[in-house]
Homo-oligomer: A and B are copies of this chain.
Amino acid sequence: MTQPDTKTRLLDAAESLFSQQGFASTSLRAITSDAKANLAAVNYHFGSKETLLSAVLQRRLLPLNQQRSDRIDQVLSAATAAGTTPDTEALVRAFIEANFAFRRDKYGSSALISIVGRSMISADPVVRDLFLALIHPLINQLHQALCLALPQLPTRLIFTRLFFTMGAMGHCICFSGIAQIFKEDPDSNPEDNNVMTNNLINFVTAGLEAPC
């Protein structure tokens, strides 16, 4: 087994540390130390800390978004074949489910998913813009599909609700652990992943389908 090259070691270390501590709180010195690389290696290979984050996101997000895009297309094709409008919940599921299944996916990384959640709702314009650029085409695709599923609603309203969906999803991915903070129930256990995913899908599907 050969040692991965410096660039890969930096990506792996950054992915792990960003997911544990967040982007701002992780220093380049911590990353290069974990990756057994020199401090200047990050700027040599990636240009800046920000571009390193972009590379970390792209490595996992491009295949993930391809999965989601394919699943949306499948829902649309099935609806066309059946001569019906696409099902809202199926579209929501196509968009959300892969995000959580990703935790155990062989191509994925359990660390990356919390970076995705953080990026999606980050207040930092740098982080947010990177994420938006990566997910923009997928959002447009989903928006158009939802317009077919919900022809009685204005497209603008559907877009607004899709925006709320992303907020709920990002919050869910990133902070499902802190839900316990409020809970006084002493025997409360962390929700199972699948239960939480289905709860989220039910919630946003109902919100998207609400009357105008």
- A5: Cβ under 8 A from any B Cβ: no
Do A169 and B167 touch across chains, with their CB atoms under 8 A apart? yes
Interface of A is mostly: helix
- A66: Cβ under 8 A from any B Cβ: no
Taking the nearest CB of chain B, how far is it from the CB of A177, in angstroms?
A: 11
**Given the complex of chains A and B, what is the CA–CA distance between A136 and B118 in angstroms?**
22
Contact of A123 among B22, B164, B188, B210 (CB under 8 A): B22
Select from chain B the residue with minimum beta-carbon distance to A125: B22
Do B178 and A132 touch across chains, with their CB atoms under 8 A apart? yes
Interface stretch of the complex, out of A44-52, A75-83, A99-107, A199-207: A199-207
Known: A121-B170, A164-B204. 14 other contacts (CB 8 A): A22-B124, A24-B24, A24-B124, A121-B167, A121-B171, A161-B203, A163-B175, A163-B176, A163-B179, A164-B168, A164-B171, A166-B171, A202-B207, A207-B207
